[in-house]
């Protein structure tokens, strides 16, 4: 009977060891997948940040260009010889600025809709 108890005890140990090994393996796989997910998420966040940063830099550059254009308009208006020339200068300025602003909006729009480039090999 003692031998039977020892045999059952050994089987229980083997089952417990098998269960423990499977649990360790499952946790190890879970941790590995969790790490991969964090890496993909980090890469996605970096790509999104990069696009947002690029859009912000473009917006600032566009704003600076538009302010410069305003000062250039003021200079040209001051140099105009008569009200008719002032009207022509102002009309040309508005046309140029509308074209520039359309191009600026298109450029910002293309950045906003561009899929982020994610390089999972970089940190």
Mean pLDDT of 111-118: 73
- Our count of domains for the chain comes to 1
Task: Let me know if residue 109 belongs to a domain.
Answer: yes
Q: What is the pLDDT of residues 54-85, one digit of tens each?
A: 889 999 999 999 999 999 999 999 999 999 99
Task: Let me know if residue 18 belongs to a domain.
Answer: yes
Mean pLDDT of 9-14: 88
For residue 117, pLDDT over 80 is answered with no
Task: Let me know if residue 54 belongs to a domain.
Answer: yes
**Composition of the chain by helix, strand, coil, percent to 5:** 90, 0, 10
Task: Tell me the two tokens of residue 80.
Answer: 């105009």
Q: Which domain holds residue 68?
A: 2-113
């Amino acid at each position: 009977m003692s031998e039977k108890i020892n045999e059952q005890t050994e089987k229980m140990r083997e089952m417990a060891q098998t269960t423990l090994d499977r649990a360790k393996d499952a946790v190890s796989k879970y941790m590995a997948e969790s790490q991969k997910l964090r890496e993909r998420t980090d890469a996605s966040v970096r790509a999104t940040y990069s696009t947002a940063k690029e859009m912000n830099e473009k917006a600032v550059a566009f704003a600076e260009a538009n302010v410069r254009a305003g000062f250039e308009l003021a200079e040209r208006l001051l140099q105009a010889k008569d009200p008719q020339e002032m009207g022509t200068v102002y009309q040309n300025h508005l046309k140029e600025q509308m074209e520039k602003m359309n191009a600026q909006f298109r450029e910002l729009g293309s950045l906003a809709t561009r899929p982020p480039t994610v390089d999972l090999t970089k940190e």
